[in-house]
Amino acid sequence: MVRAAVLPAVGAPLEITDITLPEPGPGQVRISLAAAGVCHSDLSLSNGTMRLPVPAVLGHEGAGTVLAVGEGVTEVGPGDQVVLNWAPSCGECLHCGIGEIWLCADALKGAAAVHARTADGTEPHPGLNVAAFAQETVVAANCVLPAPAGIPLTDAALLGCAVLTGYGAVHHSARVREGESVVVHGIGGVGLAVLQAARIAGASRIIAVDVSPEKEELARRAGATDYVVASDTTPRAIRKLTGGQGADVAVECVGRAATIRAAWESTRRGGRTTVVGIGGKDQPVTFNALEIFHWGRSLTGCVYGNSDPARDLPVLAEHIRAGRFDLSMMVTERIGLDGIPAAFENMIAGRGGRALVIF
């Protein structure tokens, strides 16, 4: 048996309990987790913003060591260090066929399977495929990627979601060019990755926006040249910092209608806004037809940073080893499984960067 954080039902408190995992079957891998990041997507699953089968073992951003493999698995073996990939590509659907693997139609198919068993006979599913809020997990072989050499596993856990998403939002979705100005709305784990990625892309001005004044120092360490405490006048403040024009690029990492609208209004005429935050169906964003024509701005969604993990992880590893990207500065709290509910509360309140569960 292993300890795990189980969501018994949507809206219910997490239960830290023992689960029994099966031995890895054909095409599966059993992993001992070193660390797992507490991501806003886990909160979205727990409160019903994202709908996946429950009960479920949450957690999708993690890294660990392979304990055993099932029949037919040749990509990894016992003792290998791996990063979890919660959105594997099926390689066969329309999106995979045209190279948009981050939109794979079957990426979350594994979340519907039974993952483990609790003492009372409950059979939880693997939240977002990989069930990383547990000492050990069993996943499909295509849900693991080799961990980059020379990077501690506890840091490498962040590569599985926050870093790939933030880096990809800048380099693949917004396609920030050298010399452009970038405004980042929401300085949590993903926002901190976006700031670092914008700096790597050569952005001339990087403006961080958050409701919390306490995050300024953290944002500046990640690469922000300016910091704005979010308010109703945020777009006006951004224009003032950019010569009256607005930023070339805005990246929204919150997932709220008001923040998406503010991010869009923060850009110049012809500017680009990428929405990374996951919002609910009760968050409509409205525009009138004339302003869409007049401003000529673009607004795009972004899933998993529009990333191909197999392609992007080696690139990120080079940035990390060269000191251009700092994983450890993103972690503002190291906790055990029991600390996840408090980490959720901190996210709701807008406190801190990334909380990391250490096993």
Domain ranges of the chain: 2-160+327-358, 163-304
Phi, psi of 197 (to 5 degrees): -65, -35
Q: How high is the pLDDT of residue 52?
A: 86
Q: How high is the pLDDT of residue 316?
A: 96
Residue 288 has a CB neighbour count (10 Å cut-off) of 8
Q: How many alpha carbons lie under 13 Å from residue 263 in its C-beta half-sphere?
A: 32
- Among residues 271, 236, 239, 225, the alpha carbon closest in space to that of 252 is found at 271
The percent helix, strand, coil of the chain (3-state, each to 5) is 35, 25, 40
Tokens of 77: 């073996």
Helices (H) and strands (E) in the chain, counts: 11, 18
pTM score > 0.85 for this model?
yes
d(CA 1, CA 3): 7
Q: How would you classify the pairing of strands 61-69 and 81-84?
A: antiparallel
Residue 191 has a CB neighbour count (10 Å cut-off) of 31
Phi-psi region of 331 (alpha: psi -120 to 50; beta: other; left: phi over 0): beta
Consecutive sets of 10 residues in the chain, 359 residues long: mean pLDDT of each? 95 94 96 96 88 93 98 96 96 96 94 92 94 97 95 95 97 98 97 98 98 96 98 97 97 96 98 95 94 97 95 96 96 96 90 92
Query: For 2-160+327-358, CATH number?
Result: 3.90.180.10
Residue 346 has a CB neighbour count (10 Å cut-off) of 18
Could you say which of 3.90.1170.50, 3.30.1490.20, 3.40.50.360, 3.40.50.720 is the CATH number of the domain covering 163-304?
3.40.50.720
